[in-house]
A and B are shown apart, each in its own frame.
Chain A
């Protein structure tokens, strides 16, 4: 849940897009939960704030579905952390989600354009 007032310009994630974002983030290599949440924060230019209460359940769900795998490793700061990485199935899923997302965005865009034309 986004925290109102703390970062007014962040918006709530669209239902179902968190999975896509997580898979996308893990595309570059294994990461632990904290790094993932930082990466989303940074690469979306703080548009999306992923709440920890959604992040970890989502990661665990992806793991359950076999899209990501996890293992305990030491971080660069020599700290034990749980790293998630994409599985082969996860990569396929990511590709599928991406094309769907593209269609969704195209659809939304032309819908919006049509609305403008009508007006």
Chain B
């Protein structure tokens, strides 16, 4: 048949050959004296039906070339259509596993190899010192060492360095604590980070004597400067140093590394000069800056590494003490430093980059294992069918199909399943990657560019493809040596004896794992549904939380302060509270250290005079705390302004604690002791039951509120003001910043967030984790159920003749069914038991994050048992029903 495609060379060949034939025949007739048109007619009559001949010739060629491949493929898809459930099951198994593996690999790999946002320069390398044999995660080198490297390195076009510091920025909208980078002047240029507004730091900025220049992040510009184009040129205070904003970095840029997320960048030398600590930059033994350089085009990372190894040796001979590292106990000399040079990514120079090879190695083992497990399941499915088809194969062989052709048909069936699985795996990977991104993204937008990585899909699918074909061919291998006659005679199924113990173990293992995951998911879900339906007991609307950083902090270290300084901090806190209370729109204001968040909290032991004991969360709070939450004491009064140091120590208990400690008696006037506190508190009031930390722990938390001003003078870190307001936040927030700065210009604001947002965060994370665990649990469950189905089917088919015999001997179909289902349950029960035991163990470990659900939550456990039991029932019912319908004659026919 003429195809839709243009004539090929071979088609023209056929035309030419027949034309030549016609011409030669015509010439012959002419030679014999025929008239020209009579000769032509005779010749064409001799030739016959030309289109028909052409078609036969074309068919001949197409048949041999394409037809067989096409037939194989058609055979593969026909089998898929004949047994859609089984084929879908096989494809689904492979897709789930390959998809999940791909997702994990993509995420990890994405984090490990992606540059930080807005970093665009090519050929960047991260350089640090390492000491062979020592686990040093600290990448910092001293500034003089950096200067020498930058001067001497010939393999690099540029070498930039920076040091991340906690900085406070004071502006007209208040003082804020952020992370900032103290950077070399070529920092932006080396990283290829654009400065969207204004300019980046220039070499001459380093020499500036009058204050420093600063580039701020796009985020800071929006949050603190209302995206005002006039921000460039604005004067701000950075750690007490006057600075001029000269630029706003490209949107998304928050430093070269994943953490800590910087918001302001200042030339390093001018900064240290301005704070009078330029000697820090001259100390060759002080690890200080991280380095990223740009290779010359055409030079490899190993060329850079070779040069830096030389440079390290060179510097060491000039400055024997120059190589040091930060250690928990202080700066330590390095015995045998080497240069480590690697491709730059946002994770390079962070400890996670050092763990990456281990993780990826582990991960590839896990991938391999899961793919093998799934392939074994697929193999069981296939084997079951192969048993059924053994006779069919024998018939084909006897009809003259070549053994190779049969192998090819079986393989094409495996490949057809793999192809479908591949497409499904891509979908699964795409979907789970998106889902995971939403859950683990450490900072908004940071990983937005991560897409499923198709390398692992190709790798895993190759694995799956190979194993599918291998497992399809395993039965086919027998077909190769198949003696035709015995199989034609009796339908005995004799493949793969001895496989079943392994398969059984596999099924039990998978069952246990899926029960474990299902139980965890069930507990998480139960807990979550209680969170969502739970009322926190106070009105979270129109409640603003403003955290400030009290206490003196430098870099990451909180410095111990004297009791006097702490008392001064407390007094300052109280002054700020009173100042905020005067702002129009503020109805009431208090403070405490905590704000609701997704933390696991541990209660403390408390007791009363008669030694009744309980555990409770102890909270130090400022005056009018309950009022700020919108609550009134149910008895007595709450902590007020009168509860100052020197006055009698007072406390408020919540209703649950009062019930526990006093069991109906009045709590007012009683004394309560907190853990390790010799001096008690007099209870002056009872607070209503409210989940002031959000629904994080127990549904009926016991609280002991004591006066912050009277609490043991402990080190203060961050304190949070609870501000109940009746004005819009846009208008109120800047005024609050100014009010706080008015009391103490050096008091930095860390976060500003409405209570509703904090509460949402508490449940958000748990919700996402629950969704993920559920997804994985369902995946594992489907795999386990299919695995059981495959094994049950395989066993049933292998024993067709036995079963037929039993029926012949008088067993009813019902008895046969029952015995097969019974076998299914003996597979399922150990799996269920092991899984539930493991789940209980794990749930006890994680009980702190389960809200209102005990680790042995009967509803969850019963639910999981019912679901798994039902699935197991279905998985063994299908083969059982078929076994019950075995016809005695069919089973025994050829005996």
Contacts and interface: CB of A to CB of B under 8 A. Distances in A.
B20 A57 contact: no
Interface stretch (B11-19, B96-104, B124-132, B545-553): B11-19
A11 to B, nearest CB: 18
User: Which of A35, A51, A79, A81 is the most central at the interface, judged by chain B CB atoms within 10 Å of its CB?
Assistant: A81
Interface string B44-71: 0011110011001100110010000000
B403 interface: no
Contacts, number: 57
B18 A56 contact: yes
Contact of A81 (B20, B47, B61): B20
Interface in A61-93: 61, 64, 72, 75, 77, 79-82
A75 B60 contact: no
A16 interface: no
A27 interface: no
A117 interface: no
A51 B48 contact: yes
B234 interface: no
Contact of A60 (B16, B23, B57): B57
Interface in B719-771: none
Contacts of A60: 57, 60-61
Interface residues on A, range: 20 to 34
Contact of B60 (A64, A72, A81): A64
A75 B17 CA distance: 13
A29 interface: no
Contact of B17 (A35, A53, A61, A82): A82
Interface residues on B, range: 20 to 34
A34 B21 contact: yes
B632 interface: no
B837 interface: no
Given A60-B61, A64-B64, A77-B27, A53 B49 contact: yes
Nearest to B65: A64
B13 A82 contact: yes
Contacts of A82: 13, 16-17, 20
A103 to B, nearest CB: 23
A82 B52 CA distance: 20
Nearest to A49: B46
B39 to A, nearest CB: 14
Contact of B24 (A34, A53, A56): A34
A94 to B, nearest CB: 21
A64 B57 CA distance: 12
A30 interface: no
A73 B23 CA distance: 15
A52 B53 contact: yes
B57 A79 contact: no
Nearest to B63: A64
Contacts of B52: 53
Nearest to B21: A34
Contacts of A75: 24
User: Which of A51, A60, A61, A75 is the most central at the interface, judged by chain B CB atoms within 10 Å of its CB?
Assistant: A60
A53 B21 CA distance: 12
Interface string B8-40: 000001101110110111011000000000000
A57 B60 contact: yes
Contacts of A53: 48-49, 52-53, 56
Contacts of B17: 33, 56, 81-82
A105 to B, nearest CB: 27
Contacts of B24: 32, 34-35, 75, 77, 79, 81
Contacts of A64: 60-61, 64
A52 B20 contact: no
Given A77-B27, A82-B13, A52 B60 contact: no
B77 to A, nearest CB: 27
B400 to A, nearest CB: 16
A82 B23 CA distance: 13
A79 B64 contact: no
A77 B26 CA distance: 13
A82 B24 CA distance: 12
Contact of B20 (A34, A38, A51, A61): A34
A7 to B, nearest CB: 11
A60 B23 CA distance: 20
Contacts of B48: 51-53
Contacts of B28: 38
Contacts of B23: 79
A80 B14 CA distance: 13
Given A34-B20, A64-B64, A81-B20, A57 B57 contact: yes
A77 to B, nearest CB: 7
Interface in A28-44: 32-35, 38
Contacts of A51: 48
Interface in A4-52: 32-35, 38, 51-52
Given A57-B60, A61-B60, A64-B60, A52 B16 contact: no
Nearest to B61: A60
Interface of A: 32-35, 38, 51-53, 56-57, 60-61, 64, 72, 75, 77, 79-82
CB-CB nearest 3 A-B residue pairs: A34-B24, A81-B20, A34-B21
Given A33-B17, A33-B20, A52-B53, 11 more contacts: A32-B20, A33-B21, A51-B48, A52-B18, A52-B48, A53-B48, A57-B57, A64-B61, A64-B64, A79-B23, A82-B13
7 contacts: A52-B18, A53-B48, A57-B57, A79-B24, A82-B16, A82-B17, A82-B20
